[in-house]
Amino acid sequence: MRVALALARRGLGQVAPNPAVGCVLVQYDHEGGRVVGRGWTQPGGRPHAETEAIGRAGKESLGSVAYVTLEPCAHQGHTDPCADALISAGIKRAVVATLDPDERVSGKGILRMKRAGIQVDLGCCNRQARQLNAGFLATRETGRPHVALKVATTFDGKIAAINRHSQWITGPESRAYGHLLRSRFDVILTGSGTVLNDNPMMTCRLPGLEKYSPIRALVLGHRKIPFDSKILSYEHGPPTLVYLGYKHSLAEDNVFLKKVEVCKVRCDTFGYPVLSEILADLVARGITRVLVEAGSRLNTAFLKAEGVDEIHWFRASTILGNDSIPVIGDLGQDNVEKLRRFSVIEQKRMGNDMYELLSKQANG
């Protein structure tokens, strides 16, 4: 199953609105197991992992055991149901990591295989499978995408000096891994402050992964950005999504280039676009995974809205001091018993920096 999970990760950022699934077919005999077929969800969401694995295994899929990271689909879509494909391939057992909450599936794939006489075991590596497909599961279970903050700070939690100078706080190893993260998300979202201070491209620029850059989204509040900002003028990939409040004064036909799509949403009482409406619009576009790379204001807004599911925190072994720019602003927290709590899922050293993956703890 761990091999199937590793295969599934290849699809992250490339298969929305579908889940990223991995499938391994194994033939067992008296000498042990032998992998006869491997598959993962292909870019665009099709073909599915199960049919890819069956195609590679050919006749050797007969009598094999299928390890699948998500319940095989049981509905007719652009392709035939994967549960039927496994049945037709003649597998004798299916080991499934977790159920698919989509109402068109939700246990139906398991039931269909059992009725065909296939032994089905459910729950192997369930936690890891749910974490991997957190985006797809979130859209089905909560109606919004999975949201991750990516932050790079000093040891004392600062993102820039008092004059806003920030390049670079972390080392090259952390920055390279940050680019790899971008390739695993459907959308990367930032704010006007980050554009004005850093003028980032917000693309994946690792050799060989440039084509896996996510869709870029920009939240504009009260501040105008230059017409030649890199996030607006990048010539490859889909248009940048620019979210404005309905009352924003910028003229669409004058400000935004041909690679930009203007998206108007409701404003809050301070005149900023409402985050829940931005996330709802992204879900409607088939987005499941959003990476927020922004400044203190937008980071704080997402945390206040309880909209952060995980944090990718890169921490340098340097100190800027209290007169510098913090990664998170005021949250109005006056009770330590009600703190926003996260669990450390992963921790590793990157050069002279420390990387931590933090996952939001369930309430209660």
Q: Say whether 277 is catalytic.
A: no
In whole angstroms, what is the distance from residue 255 CA to residue 234 CA?
Answer: 15
Q: Phi then psi for 221, rounded to 5 degrees?
A: -100, -110
DSSP 8-state code for residue 248: -
Q: Give the contacts of 157 (CB within 8 A, at least 6 positions apart).
A: 326, 327, 328
Closest CA to 91 of 149, 40, 50: 50
At 70, list the tokens: 């998500």
User: Which among 50, 52, 71, 310 is annotated as catalytic?
Assistant: 50
Residue 360, strand partner residues: 342
Q: Strand 240-245 vs strand 215-219: parallel, antiparallel, or unpaired?
A: parallel
Query: Under the phi-then-psi rule, with left for phi > 0, alpha for psi from -120 to 50, and beta for the rest, what region is 298?
Result: alpha
Distance of CA 198 to the CA centre of its chain: 23
Active site residues: 50
